[in-house]
Amino acid sequence: MVSPGSVGVVRTHNRPRLVLASASPARRKLLQAAGIEPEVLVSGVDESAVEAATAEELCLTLARLKAEAVRQPDALVLGCDSVLAFEGEILGKPADADEATKRWLRMRGRSGVLHTGHCLIDGNQKEGNSRAEAVAKTTVYFADVSDAEIAAYVATGEPLLVAGAFTIDGIGGAFVERVEGDHGNVIGLSLPLLRRLLGELGYSITDLWRR
């Protein structure tokens, strides 16, 4: 795990390749907006086959499996996975529109904690530590939306594509009153946490910036 404020011993080297082991366009856009142009390799990990006792354990296990699945010998590989912890349940992507509707009927006016596991593997390292991982958590407060609003939102199809059946960077953003924690983490990737993971492996996030 990463200790707050620690960025490790940063060494000087050429800009490394960053491979994003995710099909999520939102994660890619977050990196691009931060000056980082990742390569994308979809892991193909069957998320439904993985079980865990807690949201933290599940998202970190999935992030690790995704990163390991596309590990490259000459690149940094980042795996991420998000789940919502709500009233003792672990919520990933809803199976269908009916499930998405039932979730929103429960979540409206309440809050949940969005967990995103991050696993960074350094294929350039031949010795010593080659993996850093941690979980970012953000509390999400949902608006007390009406039945009609829920029906209209589910009809867009957006809730079926994302963990917890909501987004804050799309149509569903109007249905989130506020968040406590990293806004980017709810979208799918915490840039401050990525910076710390890079530091654990001896890199600076500035090494990844486009030049």
- Spatial contact of 22 and 79, defined as CB atoms under 8 Å apart: yes
> Rounded to the nearest 5 degrees, what angle is found at the Cα of 101, between the Cα atoms of 96 and 107?
125
- Clarify whether 81 is annotated catalytic: yes
Instruction: Determine the Cα–Cα distance for residues 46 and 170; give it in Å rounded to an integer.
Output: 25
The helix or strand, by DSSP H or E, that contains position 26, with its residue range, turns out to be helix 25-33
> Rounded to the nearest 5 degrees, what angle is found at the Cα of 114, between the Cα atoms of 148 and 155?
25
Angle between helices 97-107 and 147-155 (to 10 degrees): 140
Which one of 74, 81, 122, 207 is the catalytic residue?
Answer: 81
Q: Which sequence positions are flagged as catalytic? A: 81
